[in-house]
Structure formats: C-alpha cells, structure tokens
C-alpha cells in the first residue's frame, strides 16, 4: 500500500511540475523572453512538451480577458508553432497535432494581422514538411479569414505542381477529351488482361493524369499572376511548367520577366538557372553557359548551376574549369541552392516569419 501511495504522490508531483513548467514557459514567452523556449532533442521530450502545451494552454488563456485573452491565444499558438518546427527533426506527427490544435484556438478570436503572420509561418513549416494533406486542410480554414493573402493560394498550387512529377513523355498535352475517355476505357479493360499491353495503357493513363494536373496548375497560376505580391514567383513557376512541356519560348519570356520584377536572390537564381535549362533545350549552348554563370554570380557554388555549367564546359574546351566547378560545389559546407528547395515553397521564409510573429505579439 505504501508503494502504491508513493507512486500516486510521485505522479501528482510530476504533473504539478509539468503544469508549472508549461505555465512558466508561456508567461515568459508572452513577456518577450523567447530564450525560455528550449527545443526538445528527443521524441519523448517533444511528446511531453506537446502534451503540456495542449493540456495547460487553454487554462492559461482563460486567465486573461478581452484583448489580453487574444494576446494569450497568440502566445500559446506561437509556442505550439515553435514546437512544431522542432518536430521536423524529431517526429512530425507531433507537429501536425500542434498546428491543428493551435489553428483551432486562433479561430476562436477575431482575425488580425498577428494571426495572419501565424498562418504564414505555419504554411512555411507545412511546406518544409511536404505535408500536402495538412496544408490543404489548414488553408481551407485560413483562406476565409484572410481572403487577400495570395500566398495561401500559391501554396496550394505549389502542392498541385508537386503532384505532376515525373515529367510526361510527350511534348504536347492531349487536347481531345474523347481521347482521354478512350484511354480510361482501355485502362479499365487492361486491368482484366495481364501483360505488357496493360502496363503500357496504365502508363499512358498516368501520363495523361500528370498532364491534366500540369494544365490545372498553369490555369491557377495565370489567375494568380495579377497578384502583385506573388507575381514574380508565379511567373517563375509558370515558366518552369511550360519548360517541362517543352514550350521553351514561352518559358524564356517569363523567366526574363521575373528578372525585372524582383530582387529576391532565390527567385533571381532560379530565373537564370532555368533560363540556362531552356537555352539548352533550344540547343543554344553559348547562352546557356552565360545563364548558368549569371546564376552562380548570385549563389556561388550552388550545385544545380555548377553541375549544369560543368557539363557544358566538359563537352567543350573547358574541362579544367569544369573540374574546378565540381570540386567547389561538393566541398563542405554545402552551399545554399534554391533549386534544392524549389518544391518546399515558402519554407525559405520560416525563420523571418517566426521573428515577425514574435514582434507582432509583444
């Protein structure tokens, strides 16, 4: 009996300590003492912190009223987002729970600029995790509250774009819907007839599906191109889709437009790099070399442009320079390369958005 009572007392003391720890964290974070948050290093620590915040967060919010209650909602949601970011390296399943829970808390109050910043930071994190289902679910909730935020829509198109890989085999999409319908009938019949023919028809059907998604993404991006805040990135992504469809002339015009519309090194690098790819597609090696060099002037040692440039130099008379480019590109530490995170969308903005969110809730 003594052992049982001792265990009960120990359990109660641990729970009390957890409440005190979570409350202290929220108090300090709400005062602007962000050093109070220490990222968990193990899955068990992450789980305990997640449980603590989700268990004690709402009681802590209820200690405030009016504007103070809204401030507390934002503090709790921000701490949950900090934990979710830490979960990328530990257990993203915990992060998913935190984002869903925190977003529901914020919806209990009126939409404001601080909440918009929270959603943008959460968006960046979800794109970094490549969590399509969570992103779609959350943007459906956030969009009605912030209908003027074009980056919410752009994120959905980026996810749609990701569903179009690998590249289709044909240079032109099917234009005849009857042909697509016939493909579907043939594919259904092929399921009942094992063998190579069935495999070929299934491959053709999957290719058609990818083409359909690419056309949908292009249509959505064209609609978004009127939003000034995201126009440069929209044009870049439009150009890349056209490049994959072997519409190099259209793509190159859009990349050129990007170069006149932004000072973002991420977009400038990609515009030059993809221009090089387009020039190669047209057989224009000289201008492709120039474009790759322009990209490397923005992001030295980036592997995508380094490897592409080295490849062209190697088949020319620049083998020594090509070897130097490869050696530099693979040397540690690895240089930043926007192409590596192209499909991660807004993940590149995560740190600056978290800092902006902190400033907004001070």
CATH number for the domain including 332? 1.25.40.10
In a domain, 310, yes or no: yes
| 332 and 205 housed in the same domain | no
pLDDT tens digits, residue range 84-104?
999 999 999 999 999 999 999
In a domain, 208, yes or no: yes
* Domain total of the chain: 3
Residue reference for tokens 């978290």: 354
| 206 and 299 housed in the same domain | no
| 259 and 191 housed in the same domain | no
| Cβ neighbours for 223, distance < 8 A, ≥ 6 positions apart | none
| From 185-199, 209-223, 280-294, the region with the lowest mean pLDDT | 185-199
Q: In the structure encoding, which two tokens stand for residue 343, read together?
A: 């499909």
CB 30 within 8 A of CB 73: no
| 72 and 134 housed in the same domain | yes
Distance CA 52, CA 95 (A): 14
The structure's pTM equals 0.84
Provide the pLDDT for residue 12: 35
Provide the pLDDT for residue 197: 47
Query: How sure is the predictor about 214, in pLDDT bands with cuts at 50, 70 and 90?
Result: confident
Each residue of 102-141: b (16+ CB within 10 Å) or e?
A: bbebbeebeeeebbbbbbbbbbbbbbbbebbebbebbbee
pLDDT tens digits, residue range 49-83?
999 999 999 999 999 888 899 999 999 999 999 99
| 35 and 81 housed in the same domain | yes
| From 13-17, 46-50, 302-306, the region with the lowest mean pLDDT | 13-17
| From 4-18, 166-180, 252-266, 284-298, the region with the lowest mean pLDDT | 4-18
Q: Which of 142-151, 179-188, 299-308 has the highest mean pLDDT?
A: 299-308
In the predicted model, what is the mean pLDDT of residues 17-38? 85
- Domain range for 181 is 164-223
Provide the pLDDT for residue 101: 98
In the predicted model, what is the mean pLDDT of residues 305-333? 94
Could you write out the DSSP letters of every residue in 7-57?
HHHHHHHHHHHHHHHHHHHHHHHHTT-GGG-----SHHHHHHHHHHHHHHH
| Cβ neighbours for 198, distance < 8 A, ≥ 6 positions apart | 190, 191
| 197 and 86 housed in the same domain | no
Q: In the structure encoding, which two tokens stand for residue 95, read together?
A: 């992060």
Provide the pLDDT for residue 215: 87
In a domain, 153, yes or no: no
pLDDT tens digits, residue range 102-124?
999 999 999 999 999 999 999 99
| 71 and 17 housed in the same domain | yes
Distance CA 61, CA 70 (A): 8
| 201 and 75 housed in the same domain | no
Query: How sure is the predictor about 212, in pLDDT bands with cuts at 50, 70 and 90?
Result: confident
In a domain, 194, yes or no: yes
Query: How sure is the predictor about 317, in pLDDT bands with cuts at 50, 70 and 90?
Result: confident
Distance CA 69, CA 76 (A): 11
Domain boundary among 180, 196, 223: 223
In a domain, 355, yes or no: no
CB 100 within 8 A of CB 135: no
| 174 and 244 housed in the same domain | no
| 214 and 232 housed in the same domain | no
In a domain, 156, yes or no: no
């Amino acid at each position: 009996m003594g052992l049982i009572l001792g265990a009960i007392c120990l359990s109660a003391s641990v729970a009390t300590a957890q409440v005190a720890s979570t409350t202290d964290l929220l108090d300090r974070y709400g005062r602007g003492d962000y050093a109070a948050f220490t990222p968990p290093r193990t899955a068990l620590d992450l789980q305990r912190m997640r449980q603590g915040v989700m268990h004690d967060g709402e009681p802590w919010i209820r200690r405030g009223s009016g504007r103070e209650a809204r401030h507390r909602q934002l503090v709790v949601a921000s701490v949950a987002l900090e934990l979710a970011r830490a979960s990328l390296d530990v257990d993203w399943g915990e992060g998913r729970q935190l984002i869903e829970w925190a977003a529901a808390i914020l919806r209990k109050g009126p939409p404001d600029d601080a909440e918009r910043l929270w959603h943008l930071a959460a968006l960046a994190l979800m794109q970094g995790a490549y969590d399509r289902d969570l992103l779609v679910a959350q943007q459906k909730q956030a969009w009605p509250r912030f209908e003027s935020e074009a980056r919410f829509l752009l994120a959905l198109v980026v996810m749609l774009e990701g569903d179009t890989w690998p590249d289709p085999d044909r240079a032109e999409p099917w234009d005849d819907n009857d042909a697509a319908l016939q493909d579907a009938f043939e594919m259904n019949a092929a399921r009942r007839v094992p063998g190579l023919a069935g495999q070929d028809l299934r491959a053709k059907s999957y290719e058609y599906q990818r083409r359909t998604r690419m056309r949908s993404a292009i249509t959505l991006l064209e609609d978004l191109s009127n939003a000034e805040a995201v126009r440069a990135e929209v044009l870049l992504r439009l150009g890349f889709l056209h490049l994959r469809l072997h519409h190099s002339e259209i793509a190159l015009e859009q990349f050129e437009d990007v170069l006149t519309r932004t000072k973002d090194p991420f977009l400038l690098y990609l515009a030059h790099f993809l221009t090089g790819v387009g020039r190669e597609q047209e057989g224009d090696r000289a201008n492709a070399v120039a474009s790759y060099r322009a990209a490397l002037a923005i992001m030295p040692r980036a592997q995508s442009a380094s490897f592409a440039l080295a490849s062209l130099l190697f088949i020319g008379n620049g083998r020594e320079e090509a070897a130097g480019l490869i050696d530099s590109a693979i040397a540690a530490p690895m240089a930043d390369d926007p192409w590596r995170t192209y499909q991660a969308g807004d993940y590149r903005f995560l740190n600056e958005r978290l800092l902006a969110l902190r400033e907004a809730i001070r």
